[in-house]
Homo-oligomer: A and B are copies of this chain.
């Protein structure tokens, strides 16, 4: 979820706390009273849940720019642990204040609902991409989706390595297949953009 939009919405007329964490610092723990929702400004936060026999399983890794624990707005306690995975800076929005804003008027609530619904859409799409086995095909479809219908040029604003992770590929594979796509004249790479030359990899 775009952190800026969230900020615009939740920092309205209110103090928002920004705190720094060291790697390993807990942000909150499973069972704690849910008092805040959060957004990662810098760093990464791991969300994990304790399961049977004290074992913990990773639920999500929230990277810079992501919000997390939104569901805690509607729950009394946190249902997982949040731990800074590296030195991190985190925005903290008090739950009661946020709920106040959401209740203040339908516009605010609807803005938040729109953010959530769009997040759902993005996640579903990302999940669908993962159903594509072939690395080349997955990368290509990603590019098709990232390009607008009118403009076949995709702006790459994050390191390719990170893109690879987002697509669920080893970065070596990603580089390789990008190179292969370019060699086959399907895409053209420039400094920070990738241009789709043909809308088919055949």
Interface, chain A (partner B; CB < 8 A): 49-55, 57-61, 70-71, 73-74, 99, 102-103, 106, 109-110, 112-114, 116-121, 123-128, 130-131, 141, 144-145, 147, 149-150, 152, 168, 196, 198-200
Contacts and interface: CB of A to CB of B under 8 A. Distances in A.
Contacts of A124: 59-60, 123
Number of copies: 2
A58 B113 contact: no
Nearest to A121: B71
A38 to B, nearest CB: 13
Contact of A116 (B99, B120, B141): B120
A84 B168 CA distance: 29
20 contacts: A51-B145, A52-B152, A54-B199, A55-B144, A59-B121, A59-B124, A59-B125, A59-B128, A60-B121, A60-B128, A61-B128, A70-B120, A70-B121, A71-B117, A73-B114, A99-B110, A109-B110, A113-B116, A116-B116, A123-B124
Given A113-B74, A130-B168, A144-B55, A50 B120 contact: no
